[in-house]
Amino acid sequence: ETGVTQTPRHLVMGMTNKKSLKCEQHLGHNAMYWYKQSAKKPLELMFVYSLEERVENNSVPSRFSPECPNSSHLFLHLHTLQPEDSALYLCASSQRQGRGKTEAFFGQGTRLTVV
């Protein structure tokens, strides 16, 4: 248990569906992240929220829409996805502990399959 909870753990959706992934942390961290991990590929940073404000969007297609209503919750809204979007989606939170020193806490991830 890392203190970061993601739901659902598994999701199968059609290309015309709309779904949302949820992430929750009660660690008091002020930064939250969405990462994507495709099969046999490194983690790709998608979005970063700092103090509930989106601060980074790494060229992610608009069919992925993040939302951060408060410092404890992060959502990833999905619509009209493609089969190549099938991947493990990971949420993380972090708090800087000093210069050059940050520890990130990850959720268990949502295994998404687009059919």
Partner 1 sequence: LAKTTQPISMDSYEGQEVNITCSHNNIATNDYITWYQQFPSQGPRFIIQGYKTKVTNEVASLFIPADRKSSTLSLPRVSLSDTAVYYCLVGDNYRSGYSTLTFGKGTMLLVSP
Which residues in this chain contact partner 1 in the complex, by CB under 8 A?
Answer: 2, 4, 30-31, 33, 35, 42-43, 45, 48-51, 55-56, 88, 90-92, 94, 96, 98-109, 111
Exposed, middle or buried, 100 (CB in 10 Å: 0-12/13-18/19+)?
Answer: exposed
Q: What is the smallest separation between the CB atom of 34 and partner 1, expressed in angstroms?
A: 12
Q: Give the nearer residue to partner 1 in terms of CB position, either 2 or 82.
A: 2
Q: Which stretches of the chain are assigned E, i.e. beta strand?
A: 4-7, 10-13, 18-25, 31-37, 44-50, 53-57, 64-70, 73-79, 87-98, 101-106, 110-114
In angstroms, give the least distance from the CB of 111 to partner 1: 6
Least distance from C-beta 52 to partner 1, angstroms? Answer: 11
Nearer to partner 1, 81 or 91 (CB): 91
Nearer to partner 1, 6 or 64 (CB): 6
AA letter at 95? Q
In 3-state terms, what secondary structure has residue 2?
A: coil
Task: Give min distance, CB of 85 to partner 1, in A.
Answer: 17
